[in-house]
Amino acid sequence: MTTVNEKIGEEIRVQARKMLAEGAVVAVIGYGVGSLPMTARPMVARRPEDCDKLIWSSFCVLNLANYLPEVLKSVEPPHGPRDPKPPEDSLPRVAVLATGCWSRNIVVQIQEHQVARTRVVVMGVGSRGMVSRRKVESLFPGKEILRVEEGDHDLVIHGADFTETINRWSVVRDNCQTCTHPDPVLVDVRIGDPVSERKNPKPFKQVEEIERLSVDDRWAWFTTEFSTCIRCYACRNACPLCYCPTCFVDDDKPQWVGKSLDTVDTGLFHLLRAYHCAGRCTDCGTCETVCPMGINMRMLTKKLNKDVLNLYGLEAGMQPDAPLPLTTYTLDDPQKFIVTEAPSAKEGE
Amino acid sequence: MTDQNDNWEPKIIAFLCNWCSYAGADLAGVSRFQYPPNIRIVRVPCSGRVSENMIMSTLKSGADGILVSGCHPGDCHYISGNYFARRRFALLSNLLDFVGIEPGRVNFSWVSASEGEQFASVVQSVTEKVRALGPASRLVKKLDAAQAA
């Protein structure tokens, strides 16, 4: 019996091989087998015979949109900085696998002119939610997991001296559990069956739990949550929104954020990193997944997503023709936070 | 910062736009409106110039309060700078509130060039708020503590 993911994997291999053989694209960004159980390694297939290595599983947690601008640049014919750039439609095209959130990231990249729409072939896969390796490992403390077999609705975990079956949805990542748009918004080649929009009554439940705390408790939450950060910048490097040639954390004239492990410096880094994703983040959860310390930095971007939706009614990457929330304005944007002149005049706030 | 000092006076950094709020502060001065001497003014070309990086690094450097002020919506010298700023500040003030920065530390307002009196009362109300909060400690980088660690 083949599972849904195996079927999707076979379709990916067939389509990728076909596009590479026909010359429709020169590279396909997808996943290969990871070197550890419960991992999948992002890979770029450049020849039809590479396509046999492509897979699809519940552990495809890294956002492939992150690699897209770089791969697109790598397939351009060499030209110097002063040479005129060849017209976009004459440049080779690249195919990329995309679930709901990754496809929205690609939309944002197109809106921000990092990626030309004509050069991308989006292989759309409806997401069934990706499994958090950390959640699975926490179920088996002190035991090493050697192999994981995937069924459609459960995972069979094999260790040296145990075999256990667990429910798949119970270990799906938090951001996938609260996801409302699992199906790609941009599809050139459809892989597998489309999945329907999910009705989620409380997509911002975790954020609201924190909002309900008092100011001091929120500060306590913030300082403890981010105190373990080791500033490896994995969250930044794995993020498809972070493509600035020089990140604000690497600036030293002026140096916005200190480079030490002081809690103030790590806190400021996370606040500013999240803020730079405001109105652009699609809650793909990659930052949280790659964090070696298990910090839930997604809470900050999720809070910003919530505000952008509530204040401006926009969700990143959902409207390819609309401008990004922070690159536009309306004349009557909410401004409750503005200080009016006299203390007595702000009773209405 | 002089914590636990009876003579503590809040230090408030004010980012004022060149065209409205800075001129408003000037008018408050020439019209002799009294306002607390706790603000240090940084003149910026437009409230849209004030980035989150500037606000956060001001907090980091130990400011007890921040005031960002620009032209009223519709009056921007650069047509739309303060509209963009308004969206950014709305998100930033919510985010700072979310992580537990006391409401009132970071303030935003609109003051036009003709509103000298309003400028004085905005400074008055911001200073009172910050004074009530006491010296800033959240997101303030203490150099000696960092060096000792």
Kindly list the domain boundaries of chain A, sorted by start residue.
4-130+177-191, 205-327
- Domain spans in chain B, listed from the N-terminal domain onward: 12-148
Instruction: Quote the mean pLDDT of chain A.
Output: 90
Residues in chain A within 8 Å Cβ distance of B56: 256-257, 268, 271-272
How high is the pLDDT of residue A83?
86
Closest Cβ–Cβ partner in B100, B102, B109 for A222? B100
Supply angle C-alpha B113, B116, B120, rounded to 5. 130
Beta carbons of B87 and A262 less than 8 Å apart: no
User: How far apart, in Å, are the Cα atoms of B132 and each of A219, B9, B58, B120, B142?
Assistant: 18, 11, 20, 18, 22
What would the two tokens of residue B72 be? 């009223």
Closest Cβ–Cβ partner in B57, B118, B125 for A343? B125
Chain segment A200-239, per-residue pLDDT in tens: 878 899 999 999 999 999 999 999 999 999 999 999 999 9
d(C-alpha A46, C-alpha A31), whole Å: 13
Taking residue B31's Cβ as centre, other Cβ atoms within 10 Å add up to 11
Chain segment A59-115, per-residue pLDDT in tens: 999 999 999 999 999 998 888 888 887 888 889 999 999 999 999 999 999 999 999
pLDDT at A172 over 90: yes
Residues in chain B within 8 Å Cβ distance of A262: 141, 145-146, 149
User: How far apart, in Å, are the Cα atoms of B26 and each of A291, B8, B79, B112?
Assistant: 50, 26, 22, 11
The secondary structure of chain A, three-state, reads CCCHHHHHHHHHHHHHHHHHHHCCCCEEEEEEECCCCCCEEEEEECCHHHHHHCECCCCCCCCHHHHHHHHHHHCCCCCCCCCCCCCHHHCCCEEEEECHHHHHHHHHHHHCCCCCHHHEEEEEECCCCCECHHHHHHHCCCCCEEEEEECCCEEEEEECCCEEEEECHHHECHHHHCCCCCCCCCCCEEECCCCCCCCCCCCCHHHHHHHCCCHHHHHHHHHHHHCCCCCCCHHHHCCCCCCCCCCCCCCCCCCCCCCCCCHHHHHHHHHHHHHHCCCCCCCCCHHHHHCCCCCCCHHHHHHHHHHHHHHHCCCCCCCCCCCCHHHCCCCCCCCCCEECCCHHHHCCC
pLDDT at B82 over 70: yes
How high is the pLDDT of residue B146?
53
Report the residue of chain A nearest B147, measured CA to CA. Answer: A262
As a whole number, mean pLDDT of residues A274-278 equals: 94
Q: Any chain B CB within 8 A of the CB of A309?
A: no
Chain segment B100-134, per-residue pLDDT in tens: 999 999 999 999 999 999 999 999 999 999 999 99
d(C-alpha B139, C-alpha A271), whole Å: 10
Q: Which SS3 state, helix, strand or coil, does residue B122 take?
A: helix
pTM equals 0.91
How high is the pLDDT of residue A337?
85
Residue identified by tokens 């997503």 is: A305
User: Best interface-test mutation with B: which of A212, A215, A337, A340 has the largest number of B CBs within 10 A?
Assistant: A337
ipTM over 0.85: yes
Chain A segment 204-233 residues within 8 A of B by beta carbon are 207, 210-211, 215-222
Beta carbons of A304 and B91 less than 8 Å apart: yes
Q: Say what the alpha-carbon torsion angle B16, B18, B21, B23 is, to the nearest 10 degrees.
A: 130
Chain segment A30-42, per-residue pLDDT in tens: 999 999 999 999 9
Closest Cβ–Cβ partner in B89, B111, B128 for A337? B89
How high is the pLDDT of residue B113?
94
- Spelled out in words, what is the top-level CATH class assigned to the domain B12-148? alpha beta
Beta carbons of A340 and B109 less than 8 Å apart: yes
